């Protein structure tokens, strides 16, 4: 994003916030453009970048409607079924395990 002011980590001026900071305040960017960026230097790697938005232009987060809740439940349903045992785990199965925690913790069967 050329032409944006760049601030060092923790040195952004008052009145600007990252997306996560806006969410913590119960706000959303509401279509406003990015006004600056924040850079956190790292050793031997590219710096971490976060975009900043104006707090005064942010709007409240839209409430979760029953239709949105149903759509999220439908989208997450396949991620809750364990491919090993076929049961609903009650939570989204971690991609790192690839199966529910009880199946991952069970000793391997010697066949």
Q: How far is CA 72 from the centre of its chain?
A: 15
How many residues make up the chain in this entry? 111
- Token pair of 21, please? 């900071």
pLDDT of residue 107: 78
Q: State the pLDDT confidence band at 110, using cuts at 50, 70 and 90.
A: very low
Contacts 24+ apart (CB under 8 A), 5-10: 5/35, 5/36, 5/37, 6/36, 6/37, 6/38, 6/39, 7/36, 7/37, 7/38, 7/39, 7/52, 8/38, 8/39, 8/40, 8/41, 9/38, 9/39, 9/40, 9/41
| Antiparallel, parallel or unpaired: β 6-8 and 36-42 | parallel
User: Which positions ≥6 away from 85 have C-beta within 8 Å?
Assistant: 99, 100, 102, 103
Q: What is the mean pLDDT of residues 92-108?
A: 87
109 pLDDT exceeds 70?
no
Give the model confidence (pLDDT) of 11-62 as tens digits. Answer: 999 999 999 999 999 999 999 999 999 999 999 999 999 999 999 999 999 9
The whole-angstrom separation of Cα 65 and Cα 71 is 10
């Amino acid at each position: 994003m050329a032409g944006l002011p760049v601030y060092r980590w923790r040195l952004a001026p008052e009145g600007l916030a990252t997306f996560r900071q806006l969410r913590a305040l119960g706000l959303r960017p509401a279509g406003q453009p990015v006004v600056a960026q924040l850079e956190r230097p790292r050793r031997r790697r590219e710096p971490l970048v976060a975009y900043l938005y104006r707090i005064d232009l942010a709007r409240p987060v839209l409430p979760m409607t029953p239709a949105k809740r149903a759509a999220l439940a439908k989208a997450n349903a396949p991620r809750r079924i364990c491919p090993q045992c076929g049961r609903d785990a009650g939570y989204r199965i971690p991609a790192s395990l690839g199966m529910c925690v009880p199946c991952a913790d069970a000793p391997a069967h010697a066949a």
